[in-house]
């Protein structure tokens, strides 16, 4: 393990808009100013630890790269601070690192693993602070000498997580009466998490954006995600017609819709940061969303996220997310799941449709499985 609390190696400055058109003498001066800033007022004042297959020199280089990029991000957004950061941990066993942090957090934290992707980074909330846990490959990518694309992606990912840290502190301070305490009642329990995830990913992607970020990666990914979500939920409803396990259907559907709104947030944040639109950057995603009947929901979510950002320092309650919660509910409706409140309970209706009606063969197989159980 390598544990570095300070910067002790100079990482070459990558091309960035701040230095893009600077002559060599001015560049040397700018780099000297930046390194002086890191010594006098580093953006990250917490330990950065490495449980990995690298060495001390590589760890020092990776830490300097993180500090440099965080300082450049702070220059773009002077209000962006990371005082809530307890530590940054790179680990070769990401799941084990999350398990160890879980003991401090007092709740289980598990790595994302599924059809939608495999998790490599997570911000874990403690009582007053938070920990950024990252897979070691991100640190190795930061020091990759001959692969700029990988370096750019790793830098972008780490900066994204640091933006989550700021957003965590902002919400904890502004909404202390609700943050990590809000009790979800009625219909909120199936829409709040997806709406909040859309906001979090929007904010992190918007403010981590730099010349090293991909403008179109997340917007283009919507063309992959949307049909997969629609098909997965349709298949799950068809299976439900036979096994009748509603909890199983809802668990899968809620996970898929939450992931869709996370991707909405990723795409919207990157588009907003670059002052462009989905139609310009990823027209194929527009076509796919229209075909899936989700384009209006995307547009509503995008506009609402931008509005929320414009007033983010004056939030008084998570109720500000209600328009996005309504968009989440509309997505469930579009996918064939209708939630309504009945007294203090929530009813879920799954109307029959041609797309979600099992074939005669599927029904026969399902009946056979029931008999075997």
pLDDT of residue 365: 53
pLDDT of residue 195: 98
Share of the chain above pLDDT 70, in %: 88
Asked whether residue 185 carries a pLDDT value surpassing 90, the answer given is no
Q: Identify whether residues 89 and 193 lie together within a single domain.
A: no
pLDDT of residue 343: 84
End position of a domain, from candidates 156, 181, 206: 181
pLDDT of residue 372: 54
Q: Identify whether residues 199 and 76 lie together within a single domain.
A: no
For residue 328, which of 301, 366, 295, 359 has the smallest C-alpha distance?
301
Q: Identify whether residues 167 and 206 lie together within a single domain.
A: no
Least confident piece of the model among 101-105, 170-174, 291-295:
101-105
Q: Identify whether residues 113 and 233 lie together within a single domain.
A: no
pLDDT of residue 5: 39
* Confidence category of residue 115, pLDDT binned at 50, 70, 90: low
End position of a domain, from candidates 181, 207, 238: 181
Domains held by the chain: number = 2
Q: Identify whether residues 303 and 345 lie together within a single domain.
A: yes
End position of a domain, from candidates 164, 181, 198: 181
Q: Identify whether residues 171 and 281 lie together within a single domain.
A: no
Question: Strands 121-125, 130-135: parallel, antiparallel or unpaired by DSSP?
Answer: antiparallel
Asked whether residue 10 carries a pLDDT value surpassing 50, the answer given is no
The CA-atom distances, in angstroms, between 139 and each of 210, 212, 275, 313, 348 are 19, 16, 30, 33, 45
Q: Identify whether residues 107 and 254 lie together within a single domain.
A: no
* Confidence category of residue 190, pLDDT binned at 50, 70, 90: very high
Hey, how many other C-beta atoms are within 10 angstroms of the C-beta on 357?
A: 12
Q: What tens digit of pLDDT does each residue of 282-318 get?
A: 999 999 999 999 999 999 999 999 999 999 999 999 9
For residue 278, the enclosing domain spans: 184-373
Q: Identify whether residues 335 and 213 lie together within a single domain.
A: yes
Q: Identify whether residues 148 and 288 lie together within a single domain.
A: no
Q: Is 199 or 113 the better-scoring residue by pLDDT?
A: 199
Q: Identify whether residues 153 and 238 lie together within a single domain.
A: no
Q: Identify whether residues 176 and 195 lie together within a single domain.
A: no
């Amino acid at each position: 393990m390598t544990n570095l609390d300070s910067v002790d190696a100079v990482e070459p400055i990558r091309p960035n808009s701040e230095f893009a058109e600077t002559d060599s003498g001015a560049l040397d001066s700018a780099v000297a100013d930046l390194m002086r800033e890191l010594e006098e007022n580093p953006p990250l004042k917490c330990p950065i630890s490495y449980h990995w297959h690298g060495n001390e020199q590589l760890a020092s280089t990776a830490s300097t790269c993180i500090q440099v990029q965080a300082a450049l991000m702070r220059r773009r957004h002077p209000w962006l601070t990371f005082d809530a950061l307890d530590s940054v941990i790179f680990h070769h066993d990401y799941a084990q690192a999350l398990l160890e942090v879980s003991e401090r957090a007092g709740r289980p934290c598990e790595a994302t693993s599924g059809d939608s992707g495999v998790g490599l980074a997570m911000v874990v909330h403690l009582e007053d602070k938070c920990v950024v846990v990252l897979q070691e490959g991100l640190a190795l990518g930061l020091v990759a000498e001959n692969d700029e694309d990988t370096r750019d992606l790793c830098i972008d990912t780490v900066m994204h997580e640091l933006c989550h840290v700021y957003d965590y502190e902002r919400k904890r301070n502004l909404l202390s009466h609700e943050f990590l305490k809000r009790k979800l009642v009625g219909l909120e329990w199936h829409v709040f998490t997806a709406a909040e995830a859309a906001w979090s990913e929007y904010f992190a992607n918007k403010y981590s954006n730099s010349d090293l970020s991909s403008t179109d990666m997340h917007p283009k990914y919507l063309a992959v995600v949307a049909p997969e979500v629609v098909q997965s939920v349709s298949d799950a409803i068809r299976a439900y017609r036979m096994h009748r396990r509603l909890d199983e259907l809802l668990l899968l559907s809620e996970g898929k819709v939450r992931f869709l709104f996370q991707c909405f947030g990723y795409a919207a944040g990157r588009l907003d940061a670059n002052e462009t639109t989905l139609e310009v950057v990823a027209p194929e995603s527009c076509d796919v969303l229209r075909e899936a009947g989700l384009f209006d929901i995307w547009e509503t979510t995008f506009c609402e996220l931008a509005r929320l950002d414009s007033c983010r320092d004056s939030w008084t309650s998570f109720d500000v997310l209600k328009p996005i919660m309504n968009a989440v509910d509309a997505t469930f409706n579009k996918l064939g799941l209708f939630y309504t409140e009945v007294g203090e309970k929530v009813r879920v209706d799954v109307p029959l449709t041609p797309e979600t009606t099992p074939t005669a063969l599927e029904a026969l197989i399902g009946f056979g499985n029931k008999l075997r159980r």
